[in-house]
Structure 1
């Protein structure tokens, strides 16, 4: 019988299809931080609160598109910093590189977040 430990590794890897403007998506290896169910739900609560605060701020302050976009980029960078511990880009993982990714590739944050969430979905069993 195979032995398996209950405690998962602190990180896990997944390929993320990073969309490219005017080109095909590129598969990039990402290493993600593992969170248990309680920590994951707390993270999602924090993200939802930040998103709601961002939307309220944009609406109430009548921000310009440029300011609203800069604020959204900062929010998305923080989300990625919460979950990404490594990646397969040529650039070393850093706040600056993460900001560059989110700024230049509009679909990247959603692709990374979707891949992270998909890793937590129960595996399909059987046919």
Structure 2
């Protein structure tokens, strides 16, 4: 068992992201994610919400990350670029290629975003 040492944060972490392909098979992308603490992730999301012009709901409706991502679909490439340091695709990691990935394989973009959220807020990297 590894000894835990607080304050010894990694710069990044790797995770293979799995998603359903349109024709029914499974696709995978090995991603190198930027490490953020749970607090830093909260600040990151706050900036996304502000950039999207989203405001807290006055009618008691709960905040929805899915709704936010829906309203900011044009910004999803920016989100992915801000959480990834690299990937194992033959194409370079840049905005044009991330937008193409999200357009051609929307499940891949959603899986990358959800995998990152789960990793930094729940500390889980497993399936």
TM beyond 0.5: yes
**How far apart, in 2, do the equivalents of 1:50 and 1:109 lie?**
20
Q: CA deviation at 1:95?
A: 1.7
More helix by percentage: 1
Q: Would the aligned equivalents of 1:73 and 1:99 in 2 still touch at CA under 8 Å?
A: no
Q: Secondary structure at the match of 1:92?
A: coil
**How far apart, in 2, do the equivalents of 1:2 and 1:20 lie?**
36
List alignment gaps of at least 5 residues for structure 2.
55-69
List alignment gaps of at least 5 residues for structure 1.
54-68
Q: Could you say which residue in structure 2 is the equivalent of 1:17?
A: 18
Distance 1:104 1:73, change over 3 A: farther
The structure having more radius of gyration, on CA atoms, is 1
Q: Secondary structure at the match of 1:38?
A: helix
Q: Could you say which residue in structure 1 is the equivalent of 2:113?
A: 113
**How far apart, in 1, do the equivalents of 2:5 and 2:112 lie?**
27
Matched positions, count: 107
- Residue 42 (1) aligns with residue 30 (2): no
TM-score by length of 2: 0.70
TM-score by length of 1: 0.70
Q: Please give the residue correspondences for 1:1-127 in structure 2 after superposition, counting only pairs within 5 Å.
A: 3-6=3-6, 7-53=8-54, 72-120=72-120, 121-122=122-123
Q: Secondary structure at the match of 2:106?
A: coil
What RMSD over aligned residues (CA atoms) do the two structures have, in Å?
2.4
Q: CA deviation at 1:47?
A: 2.1
Distance 1:108 1:33, change over 3 A: same
